[in-house]
Structure 1
Amino acid sequence: MASSGRRPEHTAPPEMFYNESEAIKYTSNSRMIAIQAQMSGRALELLALPDADDYPRLILDLGCGSGLSGQVVEEMGHMWIGLDISEAMLNVCRSRELQSGDTLLADLGEGLPLRAGLFDGAISISCIQWLCNADKSTHSPVQRLYRFFSTLYSCLARNTRAVFQFYPENTSQIELITAQAMKAGFTGGLVVDYPNSTKAKKMFLVLFTGGSANQLPKGLSDGNDSTVDYNANRQTYRSSKPSKAPKKSRQWVLDKKERHRRQGKNVRPDSKYTARKRSSRF
């Protein structure tokens, strides 16, 4: 945040606010790294991607900044392409030499210059609210949001998702963003984690590119054990559970089913037969 306490988007346009010194400071702050990684991990969970064991998916990171979200995408076994308007942030990202990502300098409000159906999903952390501002006399937030969402819809494969973590300024801003997303063809809605907490509360806009059967995932609550943490020293994103169960074991199957439930997928109820191997003879 700016020293005056104002919201960053009211301080300066993003390409000016995130200058060279701010980009370096942002990327070297252990607290910001931890928060960014936690929100990126949650956004990927809400994206409900198939397991990376099948094959890596290509994720679009909107407002990718210095690549903190892209690092989490890599650690989850996927590839990514990031777009950002700040050249200083992208320079820091490139200097970090992440392995499976690439970046492009772009103003999201001008639309996405990307091939139709290219991506298996999109995430965005703390970015979308910037498009609600008119930083130039030629800017119309309504038109810029619609241009962004309509081109995003085009470059996503069908039956995929886009997940936006954002900090809305007020209810009107939420309505402005969601209205333009729905106008562009998306369905979906808001998922709010820890709604009763002042500090932990996080808001995600989860959008679907198709399929009326899509169920909006549930937000996390204080009693939910699916929180995530981030060890800044080890630079690894991980689940709150200490270790993974052996693959194909009963616990592995139960964990996977619970993860799919949190992602809003239809999952059969657990029973004593869950993960039990079938006999070779009938």
Structure 2
Amino acid sequence: MTRMGNMSGSAEPREVAKFDALAGDWWKTSGPMAPLHAMNPARMGWIAERLGPLEGLRILDVGCGAGLASEWLARRGALVTGLDAAGAALDAARAHAAASGLVVDYRDGTPESLAEGGFDAVLALEVIEHVPPAERAAFCAALARLARPGGQVFLSTLNRTRRAYLVAILGAEQILRWLPRGTHDWKLFVTPAELGGLLRQAGLAVTDAAGMVPSLTSGFRIARDTGVNYLMAAKKV
């Protein structure tokens, strides 16, 4: 049985169920999460460059899933809280962290439900495209609330372009079968202009944005091209 956890706020039950169903495959580098494994070094490196030394920083990983970003941060000395409404994915995260000798404070819930704040950084990676559009302003406001003054907020997502449809849905889901069909809905993808507007509405100052594109050798690299995958950084002023 899938445990939905604390479903108040931005978590859409159908979206949560998708990722609960993938919990057992999350750490398989050749499984359905292979694109995230390939992307993780580039996206986390970009974030780390903007945070500086990670040792001792309090970081909240919203929509942490089974802990791919959370463990990357914990291995570098950050004090990480992982938050997700997908209970089965959290179970996998806790088990993997324990087996790896890492300490991550994994919690069941949504950012709207989390009472404490004051984090040096708040991450929501590959999450907002799964948040219902009507809930996105509240979602971004919650991310802003959870960051300390001067803290940073980082998001990564998919742009709503024709190329993103061809790559992420037609290619990755329907042809190559890297992801289960229905993992993404192109209509829910978010343009950089829309995301920037949501963050500014939440009282954040957008400080940087970059694209992520497949490398010619392996994995992904940071680029100016935001036509498919992109990152955005903002600061709480």
Same fold, judged at TM 0.5 (above) = yes
The answer (yes or no) to whether the contact 2:206–2:234 under 8 Å persists in 1 is yes
The structure with the largest alpha-carbon Rg is 1
Would the alpha carbon gap of residues 39 and 105 (structure 1) be closer, same or farther in structure 2, given more than 3 Å must change? farther
**Equivalent in the alignment of 2:51:** 48
Would the alpha carbon gap of residues 170 and 106 (structure 1) be closer, same or farther in structure 2, given more than 3 Å must change? farther
> How far did residue 170 of structure 1 move?
3.7
CA distance, structure 2, for counterparts of residue 147 and residue 16 of structure 1: 22
**Equivalent in the alignment of 2:25:** 25
**Equivalent in the alignment of 2:179:** none
CA distance, structure 1, for counterparts of residue 79 and residue 214 of structure 2: 35
Q: 1:152-200 deviations in whole A, cap 9, x for unaligned? A: 2122111121111211224983233322211110011552246798975
Amino acid aligned to 2:197: A
User: Helix, strand or coil: the match of 2:26?
Assistant: helix
Q: 1:115-161 deviations in whole A, cap 9, x for unaligned? A: 24x20111222112111x3xxxxxxx23x112122222122111121
> How far did residue 69 of structure 1 move?
0.8
Alignment of 1:1-282 (within 5 A): 13-20=14-21, 22-30=22-30, 31-32=34-35, 34-49=37-52, 51-52=53-54, 56-96=56-96, 97=98, 99-108=102-111, 111-116=112-117, 118-131=118-131, 133=132, 141-142=133-134, 144-170=135-161, 173-174=190-191, 175-188=193-206, 190-193=208-211, 200=221, 202-210=229-237
Give the count of matched residue pairs.
183
The answer (yes or no) to whether the contact 2:81–2:105 under 8 Å persists in 1 is yes
The answer (yes or no) to whether the contact 2:20–2:89 under 8 Å persists in 1 is yes
User: Helix, strand or coil: the match of 1:115?
Assistant: coil
Structure 1 unpaired stretches of 5+: 1-11, 134-140, 211-282
* RMSD (Å) for aligned C-alpha atoms: 2.8
The answer (yes or no) to whether the contact 1:56–1:77 under 8 Å persists in 2 is yes
Q: Which is richer in helix?
A: 2
Q: 1:247-269 deviations in whole A, cap 9, x for unaligned? A: xxxxxxxxxxxxxxxxxxxxxxx
**Identical aligned residues as a percent:** 15
- The TM-score, its normalising length taken from structure 2, stands at 0.67
Would the alpha carbon gap of residues 44 and 107 (structure 1) be closer, same or farther in structure 2, given more than 3 Å must change? same
The answer (yes or no) to whether the contact 1:192–1:203 under 8 Å persists in 2 is yes
User: Helix, strand or coil: the match of 1:100?
Assistant: coil
**Equivalent in the alignment of 1:250:** none
- The TM-score, its normalising length taken from structure 1, stands at 0.57
User: Helix, strand or coil: the match of 1:19?
Assistant: helix
CA distance, structure 1, for counterparts of residue 42 and residue 82 of structure 2: 16
The structure, 1 or 2, with the larger RCO (C-alpha pairs under 8 Å, 6+ apart) is 2
CA distance, structure 2, for counterparts of residue 42 and residue 106 of structure 1: 27
Amino acid aligned to 2:155: F
CA distance, structure 2, for counterparts of residue 194 and residue 43 of structure 1: 10
Q: Which is richer in strand?
A: 2
> How far did residue 100 of structure 1 move?
2.4
Would the alpha carbon gap of residues 128 and 188 (structure 1) be closer, same or farther in structure 2, given more than 3 Å must change? same
